[in-house]
Amino acid sequence: MPSTESRRVSYFYDGEVGNYHYGQGHPMKPHRVRMTHNLIVNYGLYRRMEVFRPRHISPTAMTRFHSDDYINFLRVINPDNMQDYVRQLQRFNVGEDCPVFDGLFEFCQLYTSASIGGAARLNEDRADAVINWAGGLHHAKKAEASGFCYVNDCVLAILELLKKHQRVLYIDIDIHHGDGVEEAFYATNRVMTVSFHKFGEYFPGTGDVLDIGYSQGKNYAINFPLNDGMDDASYRSIFRPVIGRVMEMFSPGAVVLQCGADSLSGDRLGCFNLSLKGHADCVEFVRSFNVPTLMLGGGGYTLRNVPRCWTYETSVMLGEDVKDELPYNDYFEYFGPDYRLHLPVSNMENLNSPEYLERTKIQILEILRDVEPVPGGQIQTGQVESQTNPRGANMEIDEPDTEEAIIDNDPDMKVTNEALGRKEHQAEYA
């Protein structure tokens, strides 16, 4: 039951997102975001939010986390020139799970701009929560595409939030481990990553309960590995105690919540058995702490279920009740034969025994006991602009196009400050 307490919620959406296509037979379909938006509009939820179309960030802003040559490559690659970049395709892991398609870089720019723009809005205290269902692409690495993800908007949004907040919490309820985000912040105590995911012979293969962070980041990476068949009651029994203790010990200034819908029952690639209410219970619990929250999408591969999930979670964040009977919308036929918001779960067996869940929960709560109350080490992700005080992302003004002229035809070209006529400050390289 959603709370009636109102929130200032901002919502980012670009109508172009549904036009991008990973290719025939590929499970990732950006069209699901357009379907979600249409359902949100027809439920009337958009009237309760400030709705924005994201202003595109510059490629330079993406290099706060990603390497220059990787971003340069994404900018120039297209289906017509792929044969000229065979070596780079292999090097950057682009081609199969992460195919080259028309408008690839613009697609990345679009979903990433919304996440960074949303983080900036939270920083300016213009919203209590921001929603970007096109974001949450949590597998992308510094110089490598992975798991349908090219640019890691989660990491870039967190870096934006770190400009204002001393500590940022990342929570991931996608069925897949949030490996790209964990890796980016594995050695810092300013970002805690918490991931609940299927583990064992399952992509990406990381996220063991013993992976807890490194150096200053030790105990700041929390992983809850799970087995097939996870249901609502089991999920609630671990999510609430773990996140409750995290909020108590870590006390974040902002939260990024990745709401991958592939943990729902009946997902094309998933193997959990959560209902919409079970999935959204996580949103409701995070909302109860009244901490500025950026809500992102992520996985979700059964086309009729993803819009249901994210529309319902929009209503939960707003504190609005919505009818189970779906309103008529542009994609009404997708939701047959019942045309209802909530769906029954399957009768699959839950392979997570209460004993296993309790034992793992206790193990994680023990790790959290060692978290120092007020961490403060410098954050290093390998990029000058992504240290403790990253350079501001002015959402109104794009960077000049000097760098574009330099690398338009050469993705291996490294754009240096010298080439762009910028002065280097000694402290940046100390």
Contact 311, 39 (CB under 8 A): yes
Report which of 285, 280, 225 is spatially closest to residue 255, judged by C-alpha positions.
Answer: 285
Residue listed under structure tokens 């919490």: 169
214/188 Cα distance (integer angstroms):
8
The DSSP 8-state label assigned to residue 9 in this structure reads E
Two structure tokens written together for 387: 């240290």
Report DSSP state, residue 115: H
Q: Which residue in this structure is represented by tokens 């770190």? A: 162
Cα–Cα distance for residue pair 51/138, rounded to 1 Å: 24
d(CA 386, CA 155): 10
Which residues, other chains included, contact 184 with Cβ-Cβ below 8 Å and sequence gap of 6+?
A: 65, 142, 152, 155, 158, 381
Closest CA to 77 of 92, 64, 62: 92
Distances (CA, A) of 335 to 35, 117, 307, 323: 11, 32, 10, 15
Burial class (CB in 10 A: 0-12, 13-18, 19+), 82: middle
Q: In 10 A of CB 328, how many CB atoms?
A: 7
Active site residue 197: no
Kind and range of the H or E run holding 221: strand 221-226
Catalytic-role residue among 66, 138, 139, 197: 139
Instruction: Catalogue the active-site residues.
Output: 139
